[in-house]
Amino acid sequence: MNKKKPQAAWSFSSRAPAAMPPPLAAHWAAKGLRGEDVRLVLPTDLNRDLLRCENYVIVTGDEVVLVSGSVGRTAREGTSRRPGRQSERKFEELSWDVLPLSELEEWKVEELLSSARVTARKTDGSYELIANLTNSAKDAAYTAAKYFNQLKKDGAIQIPEEKDEKEHDELFCPKCGTRYADPARKVCPKCLNRKKLLARTGVFLLKYKWKVAAVLLTLVLTSGLSILAPYVSSGFYYDEVLDTAGAFYGQLLLVLGIIIGTRLLSLLFGMINAIVSSTVAADMVYDLKKVIFSSIERLSIRFFTSRQTGGLMTQVNRDATTIYWFFCDGVPYFLINIVQVIAIGIIMLVMNPVLTLLALVTVPLVLFIIKNLFSRMDSLHNRRYTRSRKMNAVLSDVLDGVRVVKAFSKEKEEVTRFGRASEAVAEAEKKASRFSTVAFPSLDFLLYISNLVILGVGGWMVIDGKMSYGMLLTFIAYMHMVYSPMFAFVDMTYWAADSMNAMSRLVEIMDAKSDVEEKPDAVRPETIEGRIEFRDVVFGYEKNRRVIDGVSFSIEPGRAIGIVGHTGAGKSTLANLLIRLYDVDEGEILLDGVNVRELSFDTLRENIAIVSQETYLFMGTILENIKYARPDATDEEVIEAAKIAGAHDFIVKLPDAYATQIGNGYKDLSGGERQRVSIARAILRNPKILILDEATAAMDTETERKIQAALEKLIVGRTTIMIAHRLSTLRDVDKLIVIENGKMPEFGTHAELIAQKGIYYKLYRLQLDAMKNIGIEG
Amino acid sequence: MNEKHTTLGDVAAIFYLTPDNAEIGEKNLFLTLKLTTTDENGAPTVKEYDRIFLHRAFPFEHPESFISVQDAEKNEIGMIAELSVFPPETAERLRAELARKYYAPALTAIKQLKERYGYAYCTAMTAQGEVHFTMRDVSRNLFRIDENRLLLTDIDGNRYEIPDLHALDRKSYRQIELYL
């Protein structure tokens, strides 16, 4: 979808799809540079001395202008940041250098560690620095370099549509323009809408609204009864039953009956509450986990590589529980306690305002102390937690590497290392428990003092006849009921923050868009011939690092092609791109002339099978693992596939043959055996296109030869891509591609590449010499 | 240019033993095999094995088919697609050999299954009477063949089978349920 645009000023920015800022345009015009002459503008952020300022590289029809300076604010403008005011700014120039365009041949972006620079090769072979820039402007620089080189080559720039906008969206919050702290996790801390978050996650509760209502109702009833209880067992009992003047004097049994009754009732409500809320809990946690897991599975590989898988698993498990807790335990508990505290406060005020004020005087103090205690307690617990995590890390590290430890007889050192970690845990543990044994009884004592005050003043009131004995007892009982929720309130703030985090992660995962998506109207051709074509493919796992840089080749159906190159040159990446584990950044990949983006995932994955270096076998039997590729395969087909992959022979030597359990603590297969099983898996798929990515690397030469021989028969009529660094593996391919640093410098048959005397020739000689050294003539 | 795809079967070329090419006999309680194959020129060659070993490729799903026939070095000579392709007498002989190899008494009841320090001590009933065995890490040594069938492996590698879990009496089921 290339569309030729009129030659106008193009500027490339990673921040905004901005045209050049007006003051700059004015400045340039003053310098005699006309807007319509400008072909390309590259804004950069470092000047020649690596100072941060605004720089522009302006390419016109016949020259390249390097401008350095800054767009300053005029006095009138004040603090306004609205873009509309920009017109009032003025460009202050620091330098203005002009290079003739004809002298420059090619721009190149050279990546340094945290910065980059654009250099130009001149016609005389020397180099000229065009611009310095930070990594933030690197993308823009790459794009600009591409267009510059295009301009030099073709005399014009062709810009495909729909560019810049997307990029801006990705790095910055669309609402407030703040840059995301973690670009992989697009949550702007500023704009995180708590209410919306609650609403989104609260939806999960709606399914259980009646049960949740029951939970709430029983909570209300229990707390109502608990408010009633002190009155019955203290005030009412002493004043109305024990006192001769009381209305129910002497009716002990009645009161005991009431007390037992209320107790039983509150017990009953408590039980109902526990039963209902535990079923809701289990169901809701199940729901949440399912949502989280299915959302995660939907996402592309990139999502997983940008996060730790272990972290993801704990996230699924912990977040579900935390969110449940928040809605079903935390919120109701909090509400009930607030209502209870207020209700009791009012009752106390009615009973005796003076005593109430006395009792509440200490509340702020107590709250303050509790808050401090908790945060101190929290940090102590945190320390214990991190230290014990460290200790576990040491432990699993040593146990995993026990062979190495033994081989170097480092047992003693490891014991000391573990000892240190363990001691640190013990130390933290001691501190935490020492603190809690001192702090909490002290707090109790403080409460006890205010208790004493009430007891003293209240006792004086009783003696004075201003208050009945029963009243005093009731009052004291209520006072305790006000104090106890306070601990919960303070703790609640920590819990709530935790839950908010979990909820935002949940919503984030639910909303996360897979960056490799199937088109809604994806094409599903009935048969695939297997013609593959790569056109100027550019790709990088990270934004600014190109792993594949302009690779083009094509494979006719049924042909085999070999990809050669050093480790890390990008060979496997090509395979990943073909099956759309990732999408290309630029260029396109065609399958039978159709862009792979247009094809359905089913089409791609049914017709392409890949055997990669990573041979992951799932927990289960060997049969299940092979059948994973095609569950409807017959057992005979499984045996056949295994036979071709050279796996059958070792499998039938296992006691349980194909029913042997593998993975996670069961039968351990060797690297070569695992590879053979996964080759069988790919073969069973019976695909039109077979990708063998170092498939036989972990095998001995004899086994490899055998499998090769079988594969050669199998690949007849199938398009095959073989990736290997052992050239002998690629003896029989039709053509070879040499990949180096993401580029494809050589392409041709074995004979052609040997004749070229390039990289392939060098590799070939090296491996041949190695053979000769051990006495085998090539 | 689109050549016909080779099928998996063509490439794999599994060699099946049939009554036509294999004569299975018995000598001193061991199975013997007289194998007649033809080379490329069609000339028959006869190879005799005085001991062969049978190995089920799918010991649970297909006890009577896909039997790998191996020589003394455990190298596969060929496969038997189905026992019943052989005459009844031979098939019976093979069956007996398989039964010997895959010896796993069926447990009819579990009287006791007690776990102590990572080892489980089991007392169970078989058709031949009571057996006692010890298992290490029960859940790992208990293989669920399907919904109803269960295979237990004891510390010495002996195997016991529970052919139908749900046919067990309640008490037996309770003992084992914990590990399912």
Please say whether the beta carbons of A90 and A61 come within 8 A.
no
Q: Is the pLDDT of residue A18 over 50?
A: no
Please say whether the beta carbons of A40 and A104 come within 8 A.
no
Residue range A662-674, pLDDT digits in tens: 876 666 788 778 8
Q: Do B61 and A641 touch (CB under 8 A)?
A: no
Distance CA A485, CA A353 (A): 21
Model confidence at A17, pLDDT cuts 50, 70, 90, reads very low
List of chain B residues whose C-beta atoms are within 8 Å of the C-beta of residue A557: 1-2
Closest CA to A366 of A283, A250, A487, A282: A487
Model confidence at A75, pLDDT cuts 50, 70, 90, reads very low
Q: Do B12 and A641 touch (CB under 8 A)?
A: yes
Highest mean pLDDT among A12-26, A195-209, A321-335, A429-443 belongs to: A429-443
A608 touches chain B (CB under 8 A): no
Model confidence at A388, pLDDT cuts 50, 70, 90, reads confident
**How remote is the C-alpha of B176 from its chain's centroid?**
24
Nearest residue in chain A measured CA to CA from B72: A653
Tell me, what DSSP letter sits at residue A655?
T
A652 touches chain B (CB under 8 A): yes
Please say whether the beta carbons of A560 and A682 come within 8 A.
no
Q: Do A556 and B68 touch (CB under 8 A)?
A: no
A527 touches chain B (CB under 8 A): no
Beta carbon pairs, A and B, within 8 Å: 87
Q: Do B55 and A652 touch (CB under 8 A)?
A: yes
Q: Do B1 and A558 touch (CB under 8 A)?
A: yes
What is the mean predicted confidence (pLDDT) over A585-594? 85
What is the mean predicted confidence (pLDDT) over A729-750? 81
Distance CA B34, CA B23 (A): 5
The nearest CA of chain B is from the CA of A276 a distance in Å of 26
Q: Do A636 and B66 touch (CB under 8 A)?
A: yes
Residue range A596-614, pLDDT digits in tens: 888 888 888 788 888 777 7
**Which tokens in the block code for residue A154?**
């073709």
Q: What is the DSSP string of A389-454?
A: HHHHHHHHHHHHTHHHHHHTT-HHHHHHHHHHHHHHHHHHHHHHHHHHHHHHHHHHHHHHHHHHHH
What is the mean predicted confidence (pLDDT) over A327-345? 79
Helix (H, G, I), strand (E, B) or coil at B106: strand
Tell me, what DSSP letter sits at residue B3?
P
Distance CA B49, CA A68 (A): 89
Distances (CA, A) of A477 to A265, A480, A483, A673, B104: 20, 5, 10, 73, 70
List of chain A residues whose C-beta atoms are within 8 Å of the C-beta of residue B136: none
Q: Do A639 and B66 touch (CB under 8 A)?
A: yes
Is the backbone of residue A469 left (phi > 0), alpha (psi -120 to 50) or beta?
A: alpha
Q: Which of A529, A635, A686 minimises the CB distance to B8?
A: A686
Q: Which of A658, A661, A714 minimises the CB distance to B57?
A: A658
Own/partner pairs, A132-136, CB within 8 angstroms, 24+ separation: A132/A44, A132/A46, A132/A47, A132/A48, A132/A50, A132/A55, A133/A44, A133/A45, A133/A46, A134/A45, A134/A46, A135/A544, A136/A14, A136/A15, A136/A45
The nearest CA of chain A is from the CA of B3 a distance in Å of 5
Model confidence at B26, pLDDT cuts 50, 70, 90, reads confident
A528 touches chain B (CB under 8 A): no
Whole-number pLDDT of residue A687: 82
List of chain A residues whose C-beta atoms are within 8 Å of the C-beta of residue B143: 661
What is the mean predicted confidence (pLDDT) over A681-702? 80
Place of tokens 């491996």: A767
Residue range B161-172, pLDDT digits in tens: 888 888 888 888
Neighbours of A371 (CB within 10 A): 15
List of chain A residues whose C-beta atoms are within 8 Å of the C-beta of residue B10: 713
Q: Is the pLDDT of residue B140 over 60?
A: yes
Q: ipTM of this model?
A: 0.81
List of chain B residues whose C-beta atoms are within 8 Å of the C-beta of residue A718: 5
Q: What is the DSSP string of A211-252?
A: HHHHHHHHHHHHHHHHHHHHIIIIIIIIIIIISTTSTTTT-H
Q: Do B12 and A556 touch (CB under 8 A)?
A: no
Question: How many CA atoms within 13 Å lie on the side-chain side of B174?
Answer: 5
Model confidence at A718, pLDDT cuts 50, 70, 90, reads confident
Closest CA to A579 of A687, A712, A680: A687
User: What residues of chain B have any CB closer than 8 angstroms to a CB in chain A?
Assistant: 1-6, 8-14, 55-62, 66, 68, 70, 74-76, 79, 81, 140, 143, 145
Q: Is the pLDDT of residue A631 over 70?
A: yes
Model confidence at A309, pLDDT cuts 50, 70, 90, reads low
List of chain B residues whose C-beta atoms are within 8 Å of the C-beta of residue A649: 75-76
Distance CA A28, CA A24 (A): 6
Q: Do B76 and A649 touch (CB under 8 A)?
A: yes
Q: Which of B3, B14, B140 minimises the CB distance to A639?
A: B14
Whole-number pLDDT of residue A426: 92
Whole-number pLDDT of residue A165: 46
The nearest CA of chain B is from the CA of A718 a distance in Å of 7
Nearest residue in chain A measured CA to CA from B2: A717
Mutation target vs A (from B53, B56, B58; most A CBs, 10 A cutoff): B58
Report phi then psi at A146, rounded to 5.
-60, -45
Model confidence at B2, pLDDT cuts 50, 70, 90, reads very low
List of chain B residues whose C-beta atoms are within 8 Å of the C-beta of residue A648: 76
List of chain A residues whose C-beta atoms are within 8 Å of the C-beta of residue B9: 636-637, 640
Q: Which residues fall within 8 angstroms of residue A547, CB to CB, at 6 or more apart?
A: A539, A540, A541, A570, A573, A742
Mutation target vs B (from A638, A656, A660, A661; most B CBs, 10 A cutoff): A656
Please say whether the beta carbons of B82 and B76 come within 8 A.
no
The nearest CA of chain B is from the CA of A394 a distance in Å of 25
Distances (CA, A) of A432 to A116, A380, A383, A523: 50, 5, 9, 63
Beta-ladder partners of A110: A117
List of chain A residues whose C-beta atoms are within 8 Å of the C-beta of residue B77: none
The nearest CA of chain B is from the CA of A649 a distance in Å of 7
Residue range A549-569, pLDDT digits in tens: 888 888 888 888 888 887 777
Domain segments of chain B: what residues?
8-101, 107-177
Question: How many CA atoms within 13 Å lie on the side-chain side of B100?
Answer: 11
Distance CA A411, CA A409 (A): 6
Q: Is the pLDDT of residue A350 over 60?
A: yes
A649 touches chain B (CB under 8 A): yes
List of chain A residues whose C-beta atoms are within 8 Å of the C-beta of residue B140: 665-666
Beta-ladder partners of A91: A71
Distance CA A740, CA A758 (A): 12
**Which tokens in the block code for residue A350?**
């009615």
The nearest CA of chain B is from the CA of A536 a distance in Å of 27
The nearest CA of chain A is from the CA of B69 a distance in Å of 9
Strands A63-72 and A52-59: antiparallel
Distance CA A124, CA A133 (A): 25
Distance CA B45, CA B65 (A): 26
A648 touches chain B (CB under 8 A): yes
Buried b (16+ CB within 10 A) or exposed e, A242-258: beeebebeeeeeebeeb
Model confidence at A160, pLDDT cuts 50, 70, 90, reads low
A429, with CB counted inside 10 A (0-12, 13-18, 19+), is middle
Q: What residue type is assigned to position A767 of the chain?
A: Q
Angle between helix axes A411-464 and A353-400 (nearest 10 degrees) is 170
Q: Is the pLDDT of residue B93 over 80?
A: yes
Please say whether the beta carbons of A657 and A667 come within 8 A.
no
A665 touches chain B (CB under 8 A): yes
Angle at A670 between CA A664 and CA A673, to 5 degrees: 105
Q: Which residues fall within 8 angstroms of residue B17, CB to CB, at 6 or more apart?
A: B33, B35, B69, B77, B78, B79, B80
A633 touches chain B (CB under 8 A): no
Q: What residue type is assigned to position B58 of the chain?
A: F
Q: Do A557 and B2 touch (CB under 8 A)?
A: yes
Closest CA to A69 of A101, A92, A36: A92
Distance CA A320, CA A310 (A): 16
Nearest residue in chain A measured CA to CA from B6: A714
